[in-house]
Amino acid sequence: MPAPTAPRAPATAGAYAESSIRVLKGLEPVRQRPGMYTRTDHPLHIVQEVIDNAADEALAGFGRSLRLTLHADGSVSVEDDGRGIPHGLHPEENAPVLELVFTRLHAGGKFDKGQGGAYRFSGGLHGVGVSVTNALARRLEVCSQRDGQQARMVFADGAVLEPLQLRPLASGERRSGTTVRVWPDGRYFDSPVLPRPELLHLLRSKAVLLPGLSVTLHDEATGQSQHWQYQGGLRDYLLQSLGSEPLIPLFEGSGSADASHESFAEGEGADWAVAFSEDGALLRESYVNLIPTSAGGTHDSGLRDGLYQAVRGFIELHALLPKGVRLLPEDVFARASYVLSARVLDPQFQGQIKERLNSRDALRLVSAFVRPALELWLNQHVEHGRKLAELVIRAAQTRQRASLKVEKRKGSGVAVLPGKLTDCESRDLARNELFLVEGDSAGGSAKMGRDKECQAVLPLRGKVLNTWEVERERLFANNEIHDIAVAIGVDPHGVQDGSPGDKVLSGAGPSQAASAPSGGSAARTAGERGGSDVLSGLRYGKVCILADADVDGSHIQVLLLTLFLRHFPALIEAGHVYVARPPLYRVDVPARGKKPATKAYALDEGELEAILDKCAKDGVARARCSISRFKGLGEMNAEQLWDTTLNPDTRRLLPVRLGAFDAAATAERMTQLMGKGEAAARRALLERWGDAVAIDV
């Protein structure tokens, strides 16, 4: 895979001019930065983009077969019997549609999700997929059969090699469908070989999720073929894949919204199969519009919420819960295997490879269908319900015993906690979260809106001290820093015992320490003190920075990140520090027909435009939507803070890690940004990169 192209330095001072600005056109952005668009460890994802297009045809009801061939020359072809990609001239672009689909980013047939759209439910969203496949292929051939003609085009290195050729279909030929053959370019991937187990799983999952679809894999090198076709769908797949016998019969179901539904679009819903077992390996797979979501997302959270609410209700109804035992969602989910297939009209994924679903409404969508179905099933099969209740209660008792053991190991010599800290009830480190909240008013809303079982709140007054060049012994002179250290239960461990100007970044191990300049004292790193000892008193698994979504809030974020990086590096190394992302805008969408008024939140201008576009597609004019801009967290009430920044199922948390720089380069850059004697270096950075940043003032 070629190394990313570095910015070209000007030959001489003053050579930076209009001609220095380079505009990437066509598929150049993909070829320059392939990692932004696809996985680069192997080419399976660019092949999956073609497979997903074929599956979308079947999902729309126009295809019944999908065939993938591994050719002896290393190429891969995908063939379907769908409608075939249109190949006439585009009315506005004056170019063949077949060419636009494979050579233009954001050109596709899946933007319009209305009743008149070509695809109402699909995995394709952005018109990016197969154009990325073409960009990262040495050669790509596509044949589309429709309207009595076969259209053929050939591309090389993302550009047209053989222009559109049309011929009439013979009497014995397939009347409609698409065949795409691709030769992945090994320069863009760590390995040119498709991982066989992942490919088999992907193809089999398409047959599982689309009962009746015939899926075939043929390998020319060995001459062997494999075929999948499931009439029983999710149930058959889950039973075949489980390593042990389920404790109770499978809970399976399906639900879809009709045209009169108040909250969801017609056809939105989910299919699921859930098995509970006492031992053995678990199987957990989820999909959105046939796209595998290996990292889960809000639809998984909806299944978990529906299961938990139904099981808890059954246990309370039959008075089965022993005294002193408190149920949590993870107790119900601990021994659950499932396959979930959700249908979402306009899904929002995390990244182009779509490993995680972020759509907030998907949680309510799945839960709304799962919960009543399970409640009915449990009360119709009370004996099975009692067995499930026993399994769940045992999981809760095991969890609580483990929590008590952790509490005893902490001992009694703990510093007095800050008075303004509103602590949580749980002592389970894996679940506990501390939110460092900007301002007392926002802190008050956070205290009312939090989950008091596992979420603690520490309000901060004003801006924290810049600690990049502050010695460890002087840190506790600042009240805010003293309260943070005592609240999290970890002492500062990463600053030098020598001069404040020492540029050594101490980390959680030898690999994290940068070299000190001559004259500086040696760093006493967390690794030298023992990483486990440094964090032995840690009281929260997540330490979350929650500040306003404006410039001042960003400044407070930077100051807190500076504190953690310089004086608490083991927290970052172990993955305990996060940044919460509150929204900047709220959109009030008025009621339309039987659908009630709703609220949506946007992090920035881009998300705001996406929300307004979706409203327009749903028939709500932009002018009817009321847009409010939050001046700060203090303007949010407890319910809004919970929905947008505290609820684990709908919030957005960014984990803090070292980025493209190693520890030494990170320390050097932070010294430029936060050092007292680095004004000239900061000015140089601003002059070079200042125009590349959009500032919200």
Catalytic residues, by residue number, are 438, 548, 550, 552
Q: Where are the alpha helices (DSSP H) in 220-261?
A: 234-241
> Is 439 annotated for ligand binding?
no
Q: Where are the alpha helices (DSSP H) in 249-381?
A: 298-317, 329-333, 361-380
Bridge-based pairing state of the strands 433-438 and 455-460: parallel
Q: Are 599 and 331 in contact (CB under 8 A)?
A: no
Query: Which residue type sits at 193?
Result: V
Q: How far is the CA of 209 from the CAs of 179, 215, 255, in angstroms? A: 22, 11, 15
C-alpha to C-alpha distance for 277 and 271, rounded to whole angstroms: 20
> Is 578 annotated for ligand binding?
no
SS3 at position 251: strand
**Side-chain half-sphere CA neighbours of 59 within 13 A:** 28
Name the token pair of 413.
């010599």
Place of tokens 């901060």: 460
Which of 250, 187, 195 has the alpha carbon at shortest distance from 44?
195
**Quick one: which H or E segment has residue 391?**
helix 382-409
> Is 127 annotated for ligand binding?
yes
Angle at alpha carbon of residue 480, lines to 476 and 481, rounded to 5°: 45
> Is 495 annotated for ligand binding?
no
Torsion on CA atoms 371, 376, 381, 384, rounded to nearest 10: 10
> Is 585 annotated for ligand binding?
no
Cα-trace Rg, the chain: 28
C-alpha to C-alpha distance for 623 and 605, rounded to whole angstroms: 17
> Is 119 annotated for ligand binding?
no
Q: Are 178 and 54 in contact (CB under 8 A)?
A: yes
C-alpha to C-alpha distance for 480 and 475, rounded to whole angstroms: 10
Which of 551, 591, 576, 577 has the alpha carbon at shortest distance from 694?
551
| Strand blocks (E) in 397-454 | 433-438
Q: Are 149 and 169 in contact (CB under 8 A)?
A: yes
> Is 126 annotated for ligand binding?
yes
> Is 129 annotated for ligand binding?
yes
> Is 130 annotated for ligand binding?
yes
Q: Are 301 and 649 in contact (CB under 8 A)?
A: yes
Q: Are 342 and 321 in contact (CB under 8 A)?
A: no
372 φ, ψ to 5°? -65, -35
Query: Which residue type sits at 292?
Result: P
Bridge-based pairing state of the strands 214-219 and 224-228: antiparallel
> Is 690 annotated for ligand binding?
no
> Is 128 annotated for ligand binding?
yes
Name the token pair of 148.
């009595």
Known binding-site residues equal 16, 53, 80, 124-130, 354
Known binding-site residues for ATP equal 16, 53, 80, 124-130, 354
